[in-house]
Every structure is written in C-alpha cells, then in structure tokens.
Chains A and B, each alone.
Chain A
Amino acid sequence: MSLPQFKFLRPRTVDEAVGDLAKHAAKVRILAGGTDLIPSMQQKLFEPEYVLDLRRIPGLRGIRSQANAGVEIGAATPLSEIERSSFLQGHYSVLSQAAATVASPLLRNMGTVGGNICLDTRCLWYNQSLTWRKGCGFCIKKDGDLCHVAPGGTKCWAVFSGDTPAALLCLEAEVEIVGPEGVRRMPLAQFYTGIGDNYRKLQPNELLTRVFLPTSSADYHGVYRKLRVRGSIDYPLAGVAVVMKRSNGHVVDARLAITAVNPAPMLVKAASGILAGKMVDDSLAEVVGDLAARTAKPLTTSALTPEYRREMIRVFTKRAVLAAASN
C-alpha cells in the first residue's frame, strides 16, 4: 500500500499554517505526529492534494504553566512528553496516566496530544484498505451509503478511540482553535459532535493549536483505566477517566468521563452529582459504574463484543472510582 501522491506544506508559523489552510481548505490534511494520518492515507481513506506538516512550528510544542492561569499545552506536544512531565504527573495525573496508555512507546514519541484529540473515529468496516472496503461495499463514513454496524441507519457510529480526551474532559480542558476569522477558545466538551463521520467541530480551514487546563482542576486525584486485549499498541476498546477531590473522606468534587464506546468521548455528568458529598464505598462505586455503562453505547465497530465492552465500562468505572478514593 503506497501513499497517494500529495504536495507537502511545511509552514514555520501558525499564521503561515492558517494561510495555507485558507488557501487549500478542503484539499488539505494536517499532519502532526502522523501516526493516525499516514496509515489512513495508505489505506486511501484520505487522498488529499496537500499535507500540512505542523512539526516545524516551534510554538506548538511544549507544556507551560502560567501563574494562576492553569497550564497550556501546545497541540504538537508529543504524548511521551505529557506522559513524562513531572509537572503534569504532580498536578494533572489523570492526563499523564492516559497519555502513558496510548499505543506503544515508539508511537507516543511521534503522536501528539492535538492529534489524540483530533483522532479520526474508528471502525472495523472503515479502517481497512481500499481493496478491502470494495469487498464490503464501502460504508457511510467513506465512499458508501450504508452502515454495517447499525444497518438501516443513516448515522455513522464509528467510535472515538482516543485515550487522553477522557482525561481532558475530566480536567475541564479547553482548546484553542485558530482560523481565518481569528482565535477562538472552546471547552473540549463542546468540541465533539457525537456523529461518527463528522465527529469534531473543526472547520477544514481551522487549526487546533493549544490545550488549556484550568487551575481549578489541578491536584485532583485521578485514575485512567483502559480496556484492551494487549498491554501495549492497542487502541482502547473502552476507557474510563475519573478525577476526585476529597475532604475528610467525603467527596468534594468528582468527574467521570468515558471513551472508546461512543462516537465521542463523554463526560458522565450525573456521576458528579451522585458522588458529591458522599463517602465512596463499593455500593456507591457500583451505582456510578451502572450509570457509566448506561451512557456507553458500544457497537460492533471494534474487537470484542459490544455487550462485553459495556460491561467493562461498568467494572472499570467501579474500580476507577474506588482507586481514586483510596490513599
């Protein structure tokens, strides 16, 4: 499987990049680490005329904490840097934990946090070669008009399979988006649409440049749990992130997010209300687990059966809540 031919754009500033995007809008794909884009291009899921490489823009990389303004992470910061940052490990541990579970060490050196947020939704009927997809008659997300996962439907259920966004949702992260109209900032929770084939609110002429973590989210006890068949390499088949702050054994504030079981990573908002003010014990953790499992809508987009994956959301949530409340 060879790469389709394309022209390679290598801007040195964000402005230059936005200019390139404006010029070629619908014909360009953005490359940060390339770990998602390159295999997909080989499979002819994307055959863009231009590929815009962000790696020469120095400002897009790095973790900067600002006094009283939380922390700012450049979108092109490699996941391995996030995994190893002692600052993040200390204050936003759920993020470093989630980053440490992505793929394998080599891929984390390449893959970026921005790429993980923008990760294309995945499906066994979609992430296949052109020849393979001919065999199945194509699907609604690419080249076809039917869904193999929920046949008869017109909605694409391709599943969002990033690890870090679940953690970022718990941390109430915001993302900075730069486009021809200027700079805008939005909560990550509003970034995803929940529709598999149009999964994010990012226009073709826009660029995700930074991620912000607010001070108010710092120093929560965080846990990320990931279901996968192998202990490395695999995308999540279900993921659960929990952050919690306690006082005298009682939960002051807690947030729960799940990933890899819906077309978008999702905050389980009701969990915060259930946990607030309570002592965490097995039965409370079970209740939260059940709640998370009801929010999950896994389908046959991925390996293992949907029912099992939903069940694991329940078990993993229970365990994550208990772990977050221990120590």
Chain B
Amino acid sequence: MDNGFSIIGKPTAMVDAAYKTTGSGKYTDDLSLPGMLVGKILHSPYPHAHIKSIDTTRAEKLEGVVAVVIGKDAPNPYGILPVGHDEHALALDKVRYVGDHVACVVAVDDATADKALELIDVEYEVLPAYFDPEESMKAETHLIHDNKTHNIEKDYHHVFGDPEKGFAEADHVAEARFIANEVTHAAMEPHSTLASFELDPHTGKMGRLTVWSSTQVPYYLQHKLSLVLEMPMSQIRVIKPLVGGGFGGKSEVIPLEIIAAVAARKANAPVKITYTREEVFWAHRGRPRTIIDLKTGVRNDGRITSVKARVVQDGGAYCSYGVVTILYSGALLGALYDIPNIQYDGYRVLTNKPACGAMRGHGTVNVRFAFETQLDELAAEIDMDPAEIRQRNLLTPPCVTVNGLRVQSYGLPECIARTVERSGWKQRKGKLAKGRGLGIACSHYVSGAANSIIRSDMPHSTVNIKIDRDGGVVVYTGASEIGQGSDTMTAQIAAEALGCSLARVRVIAADTDLTPIDIGSYSSRVTFMAGNATLRAAEEVKKRIAAAAAKKMNCAADDLLFRDDVVSKRGSAPHAMKNNPGEEEETTQAGATVSGRVEGQILRGSLQQKRKDEGPKDWMTFEEAVVAAIDFHGALSGTGSYAPPQEARGGKHKGAGVGPSPAYSYAAQVAEVSVDEETGEVTVHKVWAAHDCGRALNPVSVEGQIIGSVWMGMGQALTEEMVWKDGMLMNPGLLEYRSPSSVESPEVEPIIVESIDPEGPFGAKECSEGSLAATIPAIANAIYDAVGVRLHECPFTPERVLAALRAKKNAKPLNLTEGIDPTAPVRFREHGGSLWFRGKGPQRHALDPSRREGPEPAGGAD
C-alpha cells in the first residue's frame, strides 16, 4: 500500500537500537569524569519527625570522605509545579516519610560513603504520622505541611450539566466504592545523575555547571537547578544521555539530581549519585492509591445520563504532580464517551509516604478502571452486550465535551469494532468453558497537555534543523528519548518532509546548550508537539532549498517534489539517479558509514560538476539541491515550533487547564482470562488491543507501545502493589514488588487504528499511554464473565479473587486482614508493629556487632 509516503508508515528500527543492543550505549551511570567522587544519601528512618540536629563531624573525619552535604547547603524550595514548591533537596527541619533525604556523603568510593553514612548523627523528634488518606483528611495538628489544612494538598469540585437531573432520568443507577492500590514505574534504569562544575575563565572561580541525568525533562531540571543553586539558567547545561525507561518516574526533578549538583559544588569535584533500587522506590512519583466512589446512571437504551465521582488520592508527602493528577482524574471522565452530566469531587491528600506523581496514563487509569467496571455492571443490569453499551455512548466529533474538551479525530468506534471482530466476541462471549471469560473496556489519553504546567506562552516544542553541504541533515531537538522512540520519530518526520533518506538524518537531542527548548517527554506530547515542530522546521528549510533548486531548474518552487533523495519537477521521472528505484531505502545508521559517505561524496561531487555543466534539468539530487541552496542563501537552517491552538485549551472553570489536549488517542481492548475457582489465580490468555494513534508513523514502534501498555496494565491488574505497614514500604525491590515476568505475559494482538488527526504531524497522535487504562477493567470484566464476581479493588491478587468467590458462594469467608498469631496482642495485629510507635528508636540493638566495635576511628585500618 503506497499512501504517498516514503519514510513514515514503514516499520523502522530505532535509530539508537545498535547502541542498546550491543551495550555500547552510555547511560548516566556509565559515565565518569577525571577526579569524580560518589555521593551516597542518608535517608530518614521515620515517617514524620523534626530534625533537631545533624552532626556530620564524625563522618567528615573518615578518610576518603570529601564533603557531607545537608539541607542548609541548598535551602531553596522547589517542586515540579509552580503551586507546589514544597520540596528541598535535603530535609531542612523536618522529614516526612521513611526514605526522605537527610544528608549526602561525598567520598572516593561507595564503601567509604556507605561507612560514613553510619557516622552521621541525626537527632529526631518523632511526630504522629498519617498513612491513610481518609484519616489524614481529619488531621488538625502535626500537619505534614503547615500551610495545608487537614493535610489536603488540593481539592476540586466540578459540576457540568445537571447531574441530579441526569440521575433522575436514569432507569438504572449503580453506585460503588473502588480502590486501586499504589503502583510504581519500576523502570529498568535506576535514577542517576553526574554533576560537574568548570572554572570560570575570567574569575577562576567555580563557573558553569554541567549535569548529566536520567531525566525525561532536561529543561525543567535546568530551571529547578537554577532556582535552588541560585545560578542563571544560561550557566547550567543539562545533558540527557540514554535513558533506560521513565514511565513518568523521571518526568520531574528528583532529589538526587539537585543533591548531586549541590554536592559537586561543596566538594569542588564532579559527583555522581546513582540510586539503589530501594531508593528508586522511595523517590517513587508513581500512581497513588486511589479511592473512587462512583455513581453512574443509564437509561434502558444504554445511554449514560449522569456520572458522579468522588476521588481521594493518597498523594504521599509532597505535592509533586499531585494537583495535575487529581484534575486529570476528573477531566478525563470526559472525551471518551458522550456524557451529558458530570459531577466530580477530587481530593489530593498528603500522607507520610513517598510522593506520588505522574505515571503512564497519568490520572486517568484508576478512575477508568472504576468507570469501565461499573459500565459493565450496568450493561448486565439492562441486559445489554458490554460492547454495545459502549457503542451507544459514542461522541459525535468534532465536538466540545460538557467539561470543555475539544475532540476532533475519534477512532473509538473503529477500535471497538475491530477488537470485537478479532476476538470473536459475538460468537464466543458467554460461551467459553467454565472459568474462562472475555471482557471489554475502552480508554483514551491526551496527546500532550494543551496548557503547559509552567503557565507560559512560550512554544511547547522548538526544533532547529541544519543541513550540511553534503546533504547531511542535523536535527536539534529538546525532546527526550527515553526509550519510547522520540529520536526515531524526529528523524522520520524530518526525512519524510525533506524527501531525503533516513540515514542522512542525525538527531541531536536533549542538551540544553545545543538544543532549543522542549518541555519534556511526558503526557505523551512528543510525537504531537515535537513532531509538529520538526515538521515545521523541515518545511522551512525545504522552502529555502526549493527556492534555490527552482531557480536552477527554471520552474516555480511549488512545482518541485522532494522524495527519495531527489528533487524533481512534478510530472518528470523522479528516480533517475537511483539504480533500482523499487529497492528499499537505506535506512540504517550502519548504512551511512564514514567511508561510504566520503566516497559517495567524491563520486557525487564529480557527477555534480558534470551535471552543472549540462545546464538546467528536470531533477536534482538532494545534495545538488542543498549545495545550490547553500550557495544561494549562505547557510541552510530552519526553525519550527509548536504551541497548542487556543481552541484546544479548555474551559474557564477553576482547574480547567488540565485535561485539554490538541488531540486524544482512543483504545478498546478485549481480554480473555481464566480463573481457578479454588485458588483465585487469574491467567490472562490473550488481549486484543486496538489503539487509535491518528497515523502510525512507525508501526512497529506503535505496536511495541500497545503491547507494553497492556503488559504494564496487566501488572497493575494482577500482581503489582506497593504494600505499606505504618509508612514502611514492605516491598522496595523487584523481588517483592512483582511486575509480571515473561511467563505471565499473554499474547497481545495489537490493532492499529488510524483516524488521521487534522492537527497531528502527518495526522499522528499519541500511542504510549492511552492503551494502559483499558487493560485493568478489561481483565476485571473478563473475570466477571468467567466466574461471576465483581472485583472493586486492584490488583486482583489470588486472595482477593478467592475472597470474592467465597462471598458469592456464601462459603466460609476468607479473612484478608492481618493474621494471625492468636497470641499476639490485638493492637499489633491492627498495624504491622513498627517499633517507633513504642518509643523504640532506630538505634541498633545494644548487642549488635556494629555497635560493639564502636565508631570507626578516622582513617580506617585498611
């Protein structure tokens, strides 16, 4: 199928694939600098405490320790949101969760730093702590942040349409409480930052700062570093090396990124800090435990009349992206189905646990689980096919939803139709063997936020392109490749727009000294926004090439066609230069070896001279056109930028800024599961996952994103859960925090739906997040189809499933509360028994060998 494109729409290997598959690629922790020191962080053992004093003298005396950094070394507050500047790189006077950052030792090696951590004396005054959000909301004293009464970070109360009237019109109303427990990103690469100052050549003092960091948001990092270090942004360079996955966990400034810079300043040497896996869990910023009280009304014909949701999010100790999360949870009730009346009450609550933030499907996932499950229940009540009830409630775009979201391209109908068809839904639903079932659910997500979190009018993405005399194209973009394929997308769009081969394009990304501002890789904004900016930059350059080429060819610039490394007059034979016009493009980086390039250049150079002598032609090679343009303009470069259109920026109510997007992706999924009724174990056999990504620029990459979303959603649906006991995270590692292994991974059939968005680059929208939210309710609904139980709390662990099965059969109930030693005092059974409740400190036991040896004298024996 030729849709007129030569680059996009074809499965394309990632431009950085070779680095990653051979191990030659460099991630932050792979980097080192001469004289580099390591930083290790001391964390709070208490969930909530005043710091009365910190004495670092013993640690500083240990040989090999260069500096010890504490809160006073960098007292300025920061936070990712302008309304949430409540964090400090290191605690100033208070710690707010077990794992909060207290001090940092800078030493010559890990072992010395570890040893020195034990020598820092911190005196704490323990405070009452809050772990349950609904309890925390009642707090009057010992608030987590003094300016947040009742420990409520933010609450919103939205009414659109007339919800009560809507419920009055409904034939059936369902109301229930849903709970989605806390999950985290578990990206493969732990956070890592390397910071280094250079001398100012004029003063000889400490000058510019360079930071290499595993971040999704280099520009925000540069900005926050500037705030905390009190340095102008121009004096700070942030470079993002390869990043091993983010999923939102690196989409804001993480304490170690600031600490490394502060430590480098204090130690007067380059400092690298890499979190342990446990520290990654404490840095967290994952999806909050969410309590959803949901009420939905439908008429007998399946039409939804009204939705009312009260959402409480257990946000942890700091704001992070919290205000945005709680708004997304309400706003994204809209723009999937046509819902005339919506009431939303959202509470983002502070608790003494690590801060929650943005995670793949930010804000929508947990509420979508509740909504799609309840819709399924209502379908059963009115005896309607679950796929059909979704088809009865479709939007009719272009439209603006009742809560102010503009919807243009809308592939949901096709997503539903194709998953239903591919899964054999109509023939198989309800007819599978006992214990086996099918479930359907839908979801959607933004292609970037129409309003940036920094509330600025600057473009969200800007891209520069420079073309060299030999036709090499260099794209400078601030967009951050984090494994999602951002660099490949950029190269593809540039090559397609310029009509050159992919091998010509080199992407230089995410280096604040070199690349123009892009606000980062989050909320699935890169393809849409950086993609559009790339397209515009390429078109600007192309215009210049066309002007020069047209002059040479004696025709109008508009008559020129750029394709496959040839610039030709429309209607002329374009591929004359190529030996085999039908042959696949050379698209790999390996194809563009240095020697090949140079030889080609010499050959082409002589050919060009010959052709120049021959006078005007119907076509030119891309290089000839580039040379002509450079000769004509003096230099060949262009800039493009993207800002979302005013019409897409949402309504006027308080909090209206979050939710609007220039375009929404759509997804529908059917899951096939089986349930073991004796053990409660759920097995997912297959998931059919359709995703409307506007246009698939790189189909293989889109499929990868769909499969990854389903897999990650399945983790939250079945196995992943952060387990807490009194503020202690019981599973801060990848052994006990159970992401699915390859054994549990079901077959996923990705189905790409292309709705061709009018504003997306070549019609493309997002494809990385929208599919995740459908997986959880699809599995929940399939479990119902299989064994007839409704699960309102995820993950659906075998014990929860078994408890539900027991309840349904009126069999002996399964006690899922704490067990179980009958001799244990009741209060211990109620909480996990953390000892600080009993006034026992975090000191080691008197007989502990490490205490018997006493503090290490300065300068250890070895």
Contacts and interface: CB of A to CB of B under 8 A. Distances in A.
Interface in A125-180: 128-129, 131-132, 134-138, 143-146, 148-153, 157
Interface residues of B, number: 57
Interface residues of A, number: 47
A304 interface: yes
Contacts of B817: 305
B842 A307 contact: no
B103 to A, nearest CB: 12
B647 interface: no
Contact of B821 (A146, A150, A227): A150
A230 B740 contact: yes
| Listed residue (B736, B797, B833) with the most chain A CB atoms within 10 angstroms of its CB | B833
B842 A47 contact: no
A13 interface: no
Interface string B9-53: 000000000000000000000000000000000010110000000
Contact of B820 (A143, A152, A307): A307
B741 A308 contact: no
A109 interface: no
Nearest to A316: B679
Contact of B732 (A132, A143, A306): A132
Nearest to A235: B735
Interface stretch (A184-192, A211-219, A265-273, A295-303): A295-303
Interface in A42-90: 47
B815 A307 contact: yes
Contacts of B728: 132, 135-136
B828 A303 contact: no
Contacts of A234: 735, 738
A135 B43 CA distance: 10
Interface in B76-122: 98-99, 110-111, 114
A235 B731 CA distance: 14
Interface string A249-289: 00000000000000000000000000000000000000000
A204 to B, nearest CB: 14
A308 to B, nearest CB: 4
A300 B820 contact: yes
Given A47-B849, A311-B802, A229 B738 contact: yes
Given A148-B832, A304-B797, A230 B719 contact: yes
Contact of B278 (A132, A138, A227, A233): A132
Nearest to B732: A132
B652 interface: no
A155 to B, nearest CB: 10
A292 B821 CA distance: 18
Contacts of B680: 308
B845 A232 contact: no
Contacts of A129: 276, 278, 732
B824 A152 contact: yes
Interface in B830-844: 832-836, 840-842, 844
A193 interface: no
A182 interface: no
A311 B820 CA distance: 13
Nearest to B799: A308
A131 B43 contact: yes
A304 B821 CA distance: 15
A308 B816 contact: yes
Interface string A288-327: 0000000000111001111110011001000000000000
A137 B848 CA distance: 12
A206 B274 CA distance: 39
Given A135-B46, A300-B820, A152 B742 contact: no
B136 to A, nearest CB: 20
A87 B460 CA distance: 66
A143 B846 CA distance: 8
A203 interface: no
Given A229-B797, A230-B719, A136 B835 contact: yes
A38 interface: no
A135 B821 CA distance: 23
A290 B848 CA distance: 42
A308 B802 contact: yes
A167 B735 CA distance: 24
Interface string A1-30: 110110000000000000000000000000
Interface string B433-456: 000000000000000000000000
Contact of B814 (A4, A152, A227, A311): A311
Nearest to A151: B828
A183 interface: no
B439 to A, nearest CB: 21
Given A131-B45, A230-B743, A151 B738 contact: no
B799 A151 contact: no
A135 B842 contact: yes
B200 interface: no
A300 B842 contact: no
Interface in B805-862: 814-821, 823-825, 828, 832-836, 840-842, 844-845, 848-850, 862
A137 B111 contact: no
Contacts of B46: 135
Nearest to B730: A124
Given A148-B833, A229-B797, A304-B797, A1 B740 contact: no
B584 interface: no
A304 B723 CA distance: 10
Nearest to B110: A2
A137 B816 contact: no
Given A300-B819, A308-B799, A150 B848 contact: no
Contacts of B744: 230-231
B678 interface: yes
A233 to B, nearest CB: 6
A119 to B, nearest CB: 14
A308 B814 contact: yes
B736 A153 contact: no
Contacts of A104: 741
A138 B678 contact: no
A152 B849 contact: no
A233 B741 contact: yes
A230 B741 contact: yes
B75 interface: no
A135 B824 contact: no
Contacts of A5: 111, 862
A303 B721 CA distance: 11
| Listed residue (A137, A299, A300, A304) with the most chain B CB atoms within 10 angstroms of its CB | A137
Interface string B731-763: 110011010111110000000000000000000
A306 B679 CA distance: 14
Contacts of B278: 1, 129, 131-132
B798 interface: yes
A2 B862 CA distance: 17
B108 to A, nearest CB: 13
B840 A128 contact: no
Contacts of B110: 2
B736 A124 contact: yes
| Listed residue (B723, B821, B841, B862) with the most chain A CB atoms within 10 angstroms of its CB | B821
Contacts of B862: 5
B735 A233 contact: yes
Contacts of A232: 741-743
A139 B487 CA distance: 50
6 contacts: A124-B731, A135-B46, A137-B840, A149-B821, A152-B823, A230-B741
Interface of B: 43, 45-46, 98-99, 110-111, 114, 276, 278, 678-680, 719, 723, 728, 730-732, 735-736, 738, 740-744, 797-799, 802, 814-821, 823-825, 828, 832-836, 840-842, 844-845, 848-850, 862
Given A1-B114, A227-B679, 13 more contacts: A129-B278, A131-B99, A134-B45, A135-B98, A137-B836, A138-B835, A229-B798, A233-B735, A298-B820, A305-B799, A305-B814, A307-B819, A315-B678
Q: Which 4 A-B residue pairs are closest in the complex by CB-CB distance?
A: A137-B835, A231-B743, A306-B819, A151-B828
